[in-house]
A = this chain, B = another copy of it.
Amino acid sequence: MAMRTTRKQNYPQWYQEVVSEADMAENSVSPGCMVMKAWGYGLWERIQRVLDEKIKETGHENYYFPMFIPLSFFQKEADHVEGFAKEMAVVTHSRLISEDGKLKPASPLEEPLIVRPTSETIIADSFARWVSSYRDLPILLNQWANVVRWEMRPRLFLRTREFLWQEGHTVHASMQEAEAETVRMLEVYRDFSENALAMPVLVGRKPEHEKFPGAIDTYCIEAMMQDGKALQAGTSHFLGQNFAKSANIKFVNQNNEQEYAYTTSWGVSTRLIGGAIMCHADDDGMVVPPHIAPYQVVIVPIIKKSEDSERIMAYIENLQKQLKTQTAFGEKIRVKVDGRDKPSQDKSWEWIRKGAPMVCEIGARDVDSAGLMVKERIYLGKPEGKKIISVADFSAQIGPRLEALQAEMFARAKARLQANIRTDITTPEAFAAYFANSNEWIEDGKTAKVAFVRGKWCGDTATEEILKSMKITIRCIPFDQSGTEGPCLLTGKPATMDVIYARSY
């Protein structure tokens, strides 16, 4: 029972259908914003829970800063405001009045306020007040918040005007320490993306023209979607002394001299959910990695005769209790019994569409045989995707089994990524021909027509225009450089830098 549209037929349309059939989110009456529904927000809650723990383990504490930033703050850092000025929600009034039966804004503010697109400026202002000596450093903080960027082509999860994210902000006494922090948090993101989301990523540095506005260096994790396009899944910025200078974050160092501090910032957002969808979902709907599934096991009672109801439900309750004593990924198993008054087949399909890792169907015969029928989402439609198993075995194996499903999801995505990085395109002509003719769907990595291309770049600023005209971007300069020389794939000039070229979201 596939969805209406397959990936091959129309990938963007398929994406919308997955989101809506899985009941994860929908467009809102508030232009460009989304309503995150229980299953979509549940994924975000899991992402928060798992990532927050890693952020705290690495010594950061959560704070909360105001979402309104005085307009004048953006005057301070020129690159920063230039990067965001085109997409800012501006608050100008503080009340409504009724005139001729119509509501109108009243009480204009002395200074307009910007709804944070990101919080470097306002947090830097606090840092300036909190830091005076090297003894106050480092400060390592994070916040979970909503932010606003006035996107003109919004898309659920991938690009909405309001979105949810975490933003880490740190201040350090030395450049080395700040750079190390930037790279350390990128590694936290890589680990999280690969291990919690089962989404393999490439790690590297952004080219100059793709940097965060105001940063010295931006590092990123880049994932490959099933259509071969890249998705920037997280970024970590080394801000040098730029924000320290504009906000006046100074400290007395160990030699008793005044010095500007070094800051970093790093963030991931609800966009990760869009990434997980495009990385894992199939033509039957969403497929959720067990580690971040709001429910890992969903139990659907099959009650054909009402006199069986009581013993089936008692059996299920007992099973649920047993499962809850087990663990996977170091946490208790999350089980849901779907007792809604609806045909059981419809319920099973709903959970398949949502991508619950395991759906168990339990009827009178299963009670009699002390067993159950388990459907594993990633093997849907394959013989091994559906099996009858004893309750004892199921309970005993549930933790390792969920972890194995997660590992299989990662292995599949990793194989796809590896199979779709072209390294055999070495001349500007071949490169141009490739991207001129590469808008098709890839399946199982075999008929790949859109791929990432790993090749040389000379680094000239003039190449920006060439990239634009080809509708591709440089995703990153990978940390693992080959050091060999060859022609730049854009200009033909001799170059040593390896970069990842791709179409992208």
Point out residues on A near B: beta carbons under 8 Å.
Answer: 28-31, 33-38, 41-42, 44-45, 61-75, 81, 85-98, 102-103, 105, 112-115, 122, 125-126, 135, 141, 145-146, 150, 161-162, 164, 341
Contact = CB atoms under 8 A, between A and B. Distances in A.
12 contacts: A28-B126, A29-B122, A30-B70, A30-B122, A35-B66, A41-B61, A71-B96, A88-B93, A89-B113, A135-B341, A145-B146, A146-B146
Given A38-B61, A103-B75, A93 B90 contact: yes
Contact of A36 (B64, B67, B112): B64
A71 B99 CA distance: 14
A35 B124 CA distance: 12
A97 B74 CA distance: 11
A61 B31 CA distance: 24
Contact of A89 (B33, B63, B64, B68): B68
A74 B105 CA distance: 12
Chain B CB count within 10 A is highest, among A67, A81, A135, for A67
Of listed A36, A89, A141, residue having the most chain B CB within 10 A? A89
A145 to B, nearest CB: 8
Contacts of A125: 29
B85 A89 contact: no
Given A38-B62, A68-B162, A87 B95 contact: yes
Nearest to A61: B38
A383 B74 CA distance: 55
A279 to B, nearest CB: 22
B28 A65 contact: yes
Contact of A66 (B28, B66, B93): B28
A7 B145 CA distance: 35
Contacts of A341: 135
Given A68-B30, A90-B94, A38 B141 contact: yes
Given A29-B125, A90-B93, A146-B146, A85 B64 contact: no
Contacts of A113: 30, 89
A97 B85 CA distance: 7
Contacts of A96: 71, 74, 81, 85, 88, 90, 114
List the 8 closest pairs (A to B, CB-CB), nearest first: A33-B66, A30-B66, A38-B61, A90-B93, A36-B64, A85-B96, A90-B105, A94-B150
A87 B92 contact: no
A29 B122 CA distance: 8
A98 to B, nearest CB: 8
A62 B87 contact: no
From A90, A98, A162, name the one whose CB has the most chain B CB atoms within 10 angstroms: A90
A102 B64 CA distance: 29
Given A37-B63, A41-B63, 9 more contacts: A29-B73, A30-B68, A35-B64, A67-B162, A71-B96, A71-B105, A88-B94, A94-B150, A96-B114
A407 to B, nearest CB: 28
Nearest to A110: B31
A194 B97 CA distance: 41
A69 B96 CA distance: 13
A223 B32 CA distance: 41
Q: Which of A29, A70, A150 has the most CB of B within 10 A?
A: A29
Contacts of A64: 35-36, 41, 44, 164
